[in-house]
């Protein structure tokens, strides 16, 4: 070890040491982000498949009690596809029936807004409004040359989306069917560190499962409440708006703002400003109840993040991978946050005191032979067998 140069101040030496370490960490992080961006067609489907597997795994486990693993997995996948197909068909039918009425109401609202701009406090002239419209049309005309390139780009994106969906289907299927075997294979070469990584992986999986289930419950409650409000107000496209609100709830804070803004604009276009303000008030109230009651009760036990941390995670995920990255940013951060204590040797992930039934303690045909033979509790180890001397004798003081 080299002696420190006496000519260099200690504070400068410490600062230099920290700087080069931070530079190395930044280079590694940049390389990881670049690799993920290059392999986004693989990374994003795998991330979404993990979320779907966490959601569907309890159903598969229940079905395995009455049928083989392969049949249970196929039945789970078919049920999920059936639910998605049914909801998509219903939303498509309602959108096809009510969209023309919505367009008509939007045109009427635009005319009313133009009249208000002319006769209202702004006292704009029709010539000024017409010039603004002409300028917008001119900008669109200048962008016409890019339409052909956009078509080809859209075709490429459509092909990538189809390939990602097919890949997502296969990854989800095999995770549901052989998830435990895949995990054991991944950690089989870690040697003496296997137990630590296994503990971290199981804590992360428990956190991810609880997060996904809680988020689905909160999103379902949110979308149902908003759908009832929209139906009472007589707003068209209730089902499509409810679906938008449901999926928007998967992106904390940001997603519900965007989905709520779309719903408020639809209400404003159809029912006017007063109804839009009423709906906005109900949306804000329901969002406050969700943030202060539902989220802490359902999700907060496993994911206790400050709103600033959530915003930063969503921003980073959105910059790296767009909307899908923003959707998986918070659960990814939660998994990392729970895995680090386990990797460092903490006995349990905080704040989850103890999972209800860790997979490593499962009994049955999927358990390892050593797990089947292990005692079910510490008391079983401390209690001597009946045939040993002194087993049935009371302890003497």
User: Is residue 154 predicted with pLDDT exceeding 90?
Assistant: no
**With the CA atoms of 238, 244, 246 and 249 taken in that order, what torsion angle do they form, in degrees rounded to the nearest 10?**
-140
State mean pLDDT over 143-168.
66
- For residue 242, tell me if it sits in a domain: yes
Q: What is the pLDDT of residue 389?
A: 43
Whether residue 378 has pLDDT greater than 70: no
Whether residue 47 is predicted with pLDDT greater than 80 in this model: the reply is yes
How many CB atoms are closer than 10 A to CB 302? 21
Q: What is the mean pLDDT of residues 42-68?
A: 89
Q: How many residues appear in the chain?
A: 397
Distances (CA, A) of 274 to 107, 234, 251, 261, 336: 18, 14, 28, 15, 45
Q: How far apart are CA 389 and CA 381, in angstroms?
A: 16
Please give the average per-residue pLDDT across 134-153, as a whole number.
56
Taking alpha carbons only, the member of 247, 73, 244, 250 closest to residue 169 is 73
- Higher-confidence residue of 11 and 369: namely 11
- For residue 315, how many other CB atoms are within 10 A of its CB? 14
pLDDT bin (cut points 50, 70, 90) of residue 155 is low
What is this structure's pTM?
A: 0.67
Q: Has residue 133 got a pLDDT over 50?
A: yes
Q: Would the pLDDT of 19 be above 90?
A: yes
What was the pLDDT predicted at 82? 92
Residue 268 CA: distances (Å) to CA of 102, 104, 106, 108, 330 = 11, 13, 9, 11, 32
Q: Under 8 Å CB-to-CB from 390, ≥6 apart: which residues?
A: 384
Give mean pLDDT, residues 52-58: 90
The number of distinct structural domains making up the chain is 1
Residue of 303 and 357 predicted with greater confidence: 303
Give CA–CA dist 52/79, Å, rounded: 13
Burial class (CB in 10 A: 0-12, 13-18, 19+), 266: buried
Asked, for residue 75, whether it belongs to a domain, the answer is: no
Q: Tell whether the model's pLDDT for residue 225 goes beyond 70.
A: yes
Residue 194: is its pLDDT beyond 80? yes
Top mean pLDDT of 119-133, 216-230, 281-295, 348-362 is at 216-230
Per-residue pLDDT for 32 more than 50? Answer: yes
Quick check: 256 and 249 in contact, CB under 8 A? yes
Question: Residue 73 — very low, low, confident or very high, per pLDDT cuts 50/70/90?
Answer: very high
Mean pLDDT for 68-83 is 91
- Non-local (6+) Cβ contacts of 241 within 8 A are 226, 227, 230, 235, 262, 263, 266
Residue 220 falls inside a structural domain: yes
pLDDT of 150 > 60? The answer is: no
Higher pLDDT, 346 or 188: 188
- Of 33, 79, 35, which Cα lies nearest the Cα of 56? 79
Structural domain includes residue 297: yes
- The segment with the largest mean pLDDT, out of 75-84, 127-136, 303-312, 342-351, is 75-84
Inside any domain, residue 393 = no
Residue 217 located in a structural domain: yes
Q: What is the mean pLDDT of residues 78-84?
A: 91
Whether 91 has a pLDDT exceeding 70, the answer reads yes
Looking at residue 366, its pLDDT comes to: 45
Residue 303 confidence (pLDDT): 64
Secondary structure, 3-state, the chain = CCCCCCCCCHHHHHHHHHHHHHHHHHHHHHHHHHHHHHCHHHHHHHHHHHHHHHHHHHHHHHHCCCCCHHHHHHHHHHHHHHHHHHHHHHHHHHHHHHHHHHHHHHHHHHHHHHHHHHHCCCCCCHHHHHHHHHHHHHHHHHHHHHHHHHHHHHHHHHHHHHHHHHHHHHHHHHHHHHHHHHHHHHCCCCHHHHHHHHHHHHHHHHHHHHHHHHHHHHHHHHHHHHHHHHHHHCCCCHHHHHHHHHHHCCCCCHHHHHHHHHHHHHHHHHHCHHHHHHHHHHHHHHHHHHHHHHHHHHHCCCCCCCHHHHHHHHHHHHHHHHHHHHHHHHHHHHHHHHHHHHHCCCCCCCCCCCCCCCHHHCCCCCCCHHHHHCCCCHHHHHCCCCCCCCCCCCCCC
* Alpha carbon distance 112, 7 (integer Å): 77
Higher pLDDT, 124 or 210: 210
Q: What percent of the chain has pLDDT over 70?
A: 73
* 254-274 average pLDDT score: 84
> Higher-confidence residue: 185 or 364?
185
- The pLDDT of residue 1 is 52
Contact 213, 201 (CB under 8 A): no
Residue 57 lies in a domain: no
Per-residue b or e along 67-96, where b marks 16 or more CB atoms closer than 10 Å to that residue's CB: eebeebbbebbeebeeeeeeeeeebeebbe
What is the arithmetic mean of pLDDT over 112-120? 72
Cα gap 63→42, rounded to integer Å: 29
**What's the confidence (pLDDT) of residue 211?**
83
Stretch 131-142: mean pLDDT: 66
Domain of residue 282: give its range: 193-349
């Amino acid at each position: 070890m080299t002696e420190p140069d006496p000519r260099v101040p200690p504070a400068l030496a410490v600062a230099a040491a920290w700087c080069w370490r931070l530079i190395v960490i930044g280079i590694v992080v940049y390389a990881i982000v670049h690799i993920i961006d290059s392999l986004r067609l693989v990374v994003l489907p795998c991330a979404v498949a993990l979320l779907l597997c966490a959601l569907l795994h309890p159903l598969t486990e229940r079905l395995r009690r009455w049928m083989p693993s392969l049949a249970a997995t196929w039945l789970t996948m078919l049920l999920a596809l059936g639910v998605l197909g049914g909801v998509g068909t219903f939303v498509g039918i309602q959108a096809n029936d009510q969209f023309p009425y919505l367009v008509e109401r939007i045109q009427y609202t635009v005319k009313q807004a133009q009249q208000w701009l002319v006769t209202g406090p702004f006292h704009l002239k029709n010539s000024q409004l017409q010039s603004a419209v002409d300028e917008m049309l001119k900008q669109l005309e200048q962008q016409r040359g890019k339409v052909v390139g956009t078509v080809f780009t859209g075709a490429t994106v459509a092909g990538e989306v189809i390939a990602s969906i097919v890949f997502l289907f296969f990854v989800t299927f095999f995770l549901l069917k052989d998830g435990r075997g895949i995990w054991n294979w991944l950690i089989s070469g870690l040697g003496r560190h296997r137990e630590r990584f296994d503990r971290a992986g199981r804590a992360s999986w428990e956190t991810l499962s609880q997060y996904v289930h809680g988020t689905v419950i909160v999103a379902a409650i949110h979308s149902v409440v908003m759908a009832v409000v929209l139906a009472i107000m007589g707003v068209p496209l209730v089902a499509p708006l409810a679906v938008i609100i449901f999926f928007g709830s998967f992106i904390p804070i940001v997603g519900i703002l965007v989905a709520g803004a779309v719903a408020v604009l639809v209400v404003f276009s159809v029912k006017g400003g007063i109804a839009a303000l009423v709906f906005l008030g109900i949306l804000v109230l329901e969002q406050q109840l969700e943030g202060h009651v539902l989220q802490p009760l359902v999700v907060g036990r496993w994911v206790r993040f400050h709103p600033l941390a959530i915003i930063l995670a969503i921003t980073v995920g959105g910059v790296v991978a767009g909307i899908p990255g923003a959707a998986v940013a918070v659960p990814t951060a939660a998994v990392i946050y729970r895995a680090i204590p386990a990797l460092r040797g903490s006995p349990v992930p905080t704040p989850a005191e103890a999972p209800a039934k860790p997979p490593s303690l499962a009994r049955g045909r999927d358990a390892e032979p050593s797990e089947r033979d292990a005692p079910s509790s510490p008391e079983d180890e401390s209690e001597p067998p009946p045939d040993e001397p002194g087993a049935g004798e009371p302890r003497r003081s």
